[in-house]
Amino acid sequence: MTDLVQVIVSTATIGSALALVALGYSLVFSATGIVNFAQGPLLVVAGYGAYAVTRAGLPVALALLLAVAGTAAAGAVVEVVALRPLRRDGADPAAGVGWVLTTFAAGLVAVDMVRITVDAAPHALAPVVGSVFGWSVWRVAGVAVTPTDVSIVVVTLAAVTGVDVAMSRTARGRALRAVAQDREAAALMGVDTTTVVTCAFAAAGALAAVAAVLLAPKVFVRLENGLLLGLEAFVAAVLGGLGSARGALAGGYAVAAVSAVVRTLSPSGSRYEFVAVFALFLVTLAVRPSGLFGERTVEKV
């Protein structure tokens, strides 16, 4: 019973954080048709930024707000330096592979800047929500459930629902999808395509910041999080279907569930965690290449 509850709690918390980062991948993909490989490193920027704020004596709630604002700005900078130059002379960045190199390089630079300006050591971060009306911990079959666990799940469900509604029912969401489908046609219809793309990158950065700070009390702030959590979130985004908010949520929980089960079944399960995740990834894409909630695209000539 204890193992089952531990798997459920781990799936809910880690899966929610992965879903937030995966949602950032999907937002950028919806606006540009590319994958922003700097999304994972933005977790590092946010985590160490929040740590630096708390080290200065400020409360962790303020650290979260500043991390969201700072990482949103960092996401916008990634778009300016890594993607915008590829659009010179009207070229479509998604038509080539230059964006792979530029976004990946931007992520490496971001992590190195953190290493230089803050440090490279792991750090603990206090929970944003320490207690709710006096409740600080609830034990189910010996497994601790804290306000931090609940807050991660609630914030993720709210974010995914909000993005899903905005993408389908608001003018801004329709503009974002229009830019992804045909940038020139969207511009002719009066859409400010540059602003839409920059906002997508900024929103992706903000989502990464929320995930990094809320999850920090459980996994610490580490430089490795950019690679490990970023890679798992990318798998979750593709597994659920790039461009789909609900797909990001489903993919995040699927990846976290597989990881939690493997770790629970074997004492050395951490060795096989990524093997199991990528096996699920390959099997799913073999059956449904567009992901669980992705839509198949048909190009007409």
Question: Distance between CA 38 and CA 145 in Å, rounded?
Answer: 32
Residues of the chain with confidence (pLDDT) below 70: 1, 89-96, 131, 135, 267-269, 294-301
Domains of the chain in start order, with CATH, are: 2-287 (1.10.3470)
Q: Check residue 57 and give left, alpha or beta (phi > 0: left; psi -120 to 50: alpha).
A: left
pLDDT value of position 113: 93
pLDDT value of position 51: 94
Cα 92 to Cα 75, 87, 164, 183, distances in angstroms: 20, 6, 26, 9
Tens-place pLDDT, residues 170-204? 877 778 777 777 777 877 787 788 888 899 999 99
Regarding pTM above 0.95, the answer is no
DSSP state of 295: P
pLDDT value of position 237: 92
pLDDT value of position 301: 43
Q: At what angle do helices 225-240 and 269-287 cross, to 10 degrees?
A: 30
